[in-house]
Amino acid sequence: MATYDYDLFVIGAGSGGVRAARLAAMSGAKVAVAEEHRVGGTCVIRGCVPKKFMVYASEFASYAKVAEGYGWSPSQSTFDWSKFLEAKDREIARLSGIYVTNLSNAGAEIVHARATLKDVHTVEIVGKGVVTADKILVATGGRPWSPADLPGIEHAITSEEAFHLPQLPKSIMIAGGGYIAVEFAGIFAGLGVDTTLVYRGANILRGFDDDVRSHLAEEMKKKGIKIILGCEHASIEKTDAGLVNHMSSGLDVVTEQVMFATGRKPHTKGLGLEAAGVKLADSGAVMVDRFSKTNVDNIWAVGDVTDRINLTPVAIREGAAFSQTEFYNNPTSFDHDMVASAVFSQPPVGSVGQSEADARHEHGKVDIYLSRFRPMKTTFYGGDDRCLIKLVVARDSQKIVGCHVVGPDSPEIIQMAAIAVKMGVTKAQWDSTCAVHPTLAEELVTMRDKYVPAGLSAA
């Protein structure tokens, strides 16, 4: 029997790779994990975590108005971007350090270098030599993508640079209508940057429920974000006045900064996957089965590099399932159905299950329960922020197949709602839950009347 330097070699120390490496090492296997940047991956270093700190930072501006409405004296406060960056970087370093400690405590070796495949069992640790491994796990994540052929694209930043801007711009144009575009639009606007979002489609957040999309767009506009729809960049020109965004509609918009949030691509280039015979999809994603195994018998892949559902907790579960299967003799596959997600826009969105359109497509007839209202905290000070709560129910089975919330704390609310939806709860069971009062979320269990948009019949 062949012997190898390692039982498992993991390429990429992000959420999926670290979870898989730790679990495998804790089983007694000899494990190494290679990372060319900092341990923690996209989520911890340049994604979810620093983004959430930026969301928190940007929310304070609106608190002053709310506080005044509640009787506090007007106060003058200013925001210091460099002070925030310092604090953010300190916290990210602390969290990255925890990942390192957890890996080491589990007995996994961390290789601080780029690793590429030479063949199915051989890994080149760039600049340091080669090692062999029985099993290999690819967990290299994704990278921002922007259209390289757009004239002037070199003047635009992506989310990666947005975390480290030397100073806040006075104005920004954000291209894209997905998670990252709407989240950063809220962040920049909250921090006082004159913010415009341009999206090529009919409304932001394609794939989400249409009521969620339109509700969020309206709420974002109330916060001063300009949203241009059905339009995209023709070019970007650098001038003394700033960056001129030449749009497909003929409109020219001058901004100090331009950010492209036009999607992310699996990070597979130059990894040597071809040398190992690993099959890739046209998108560059590593193709895997439900156990995250590639077409090569001893190579697996988890997380964004497989482009299934590109969310941190999903990568973690895929990594854990891999280690359970391969190192604990417990075949486990992660169920990608009914995964909840949150968009940390302002207001945020929490969503689990199907949009109304997808549910109509799959189940035929559906019942819709929908409520739009001003939360009590807002009505008190005379604000005009509105929440949206929507349930999508398959009419025949009466199961709740979609739950969508736009409003304060919706990411926290949806985490709990997702448990019941994932378990296949019916509307009657859902309604048997007594409300918690006074909360925003109580509306979820008190909607009794089916929603019929004006001018339509209930069918």
130 annotated to bind ligand: no
d(CA 124, CA 36): 13
d(CA 270, CA 289): 23
d(CA 459, CA 456): 8
Q: What values do phi and psi take at 250, rounded to 5?
A: 100, -10
358 annotated to bind ligand: no
183 annotated to bind ligand: yes
- Least distance in Å: CB of 416 to ligand NDP? 17
Binding region for ligand NDP (CB under 6 A): 147, 175-181, 183, 199-201, 206, 232, 261-264, 310-311, 341-344
Asked if 374 contacts 385 with a C-beta cutoff of 8 angstroms, the reply is: yes
Comparison of 260 and 430: residue with beta carbon closer to ligand NDP = 260
- Least distance in Å: CB of 377 to ligand NDP? 23
Instruction: Choose the catalytic residue: 164, 336, 404, 437.
Output: 437
Asked if 228 contacts 255 with a C-beta cutoff of 8 angstroms, the reply is: no
71 annotated to bind ligand: no
- Least distance in Å: CB of 446 to ligand NDP? 28
d(CA 100, CA 102): 6
Q: Annotated catalytic, 437?
A: yes
Neighbours of 113 (CB within 10 A): 14
Give the residue from 40, 41, 5, 9 showing the smallest Cα distance to 24: 9
Q: Helix, strand, or coil here: 303?
A: helix
Beta-sheet pairing, 242-247 with 387-394: unpaired
Comparison of 140 and 324: residue with beta carbon closer to ligand NDP = 140
Asked if 340 contacts 414 with a C-beta cutoff of 8 angstroms, the reply is: yes
263 annotated to bind ligand: yes
Comparison of 340 and 368: residue with beta carbon closer to ligand NDP = 340
Comparison of 188 and 344: residue with beta carbon closer to ligand NDP = 344
d(CA 219, CA 361): 28
* Rounded (5°) CA angle 250-251-256: 135
36 annotated to bind ligand: no
d(CA 59, CA 88): 16
- Least distance in Å: CB of 312 to ligand NDP? 7
- Least distance in Å: CB of 224 to ligand NDP? 21
258 annotated to bind ligand: no
Comparison of 30 and 265: residue with beta carbon closer to ligand NDP = 265
Instruction: Return the residue nearest ligand NDP (CB atom).
Output: 178
Q: Where are the alpha helices (DSSP H) in 312-355?
A: 312-327
Comparison of 244 and 366: residue with beta carbon closer to ligand NDP = 244
**Residue 336 CB-half CA count within 13 A:** 16
180 annotated to bind ligand: yes
d(CA 303, CA 313): 9
- Least distance in Å: CB of 420 to ligand NDP? 21
Q: Which residues are annotated as a binding site for FAD?
A: 52, 304
Q: Which residues are annotated as a binding site?
A: 52, 176-183, 263, 304
Q: Catalytic site residues?
A: 437
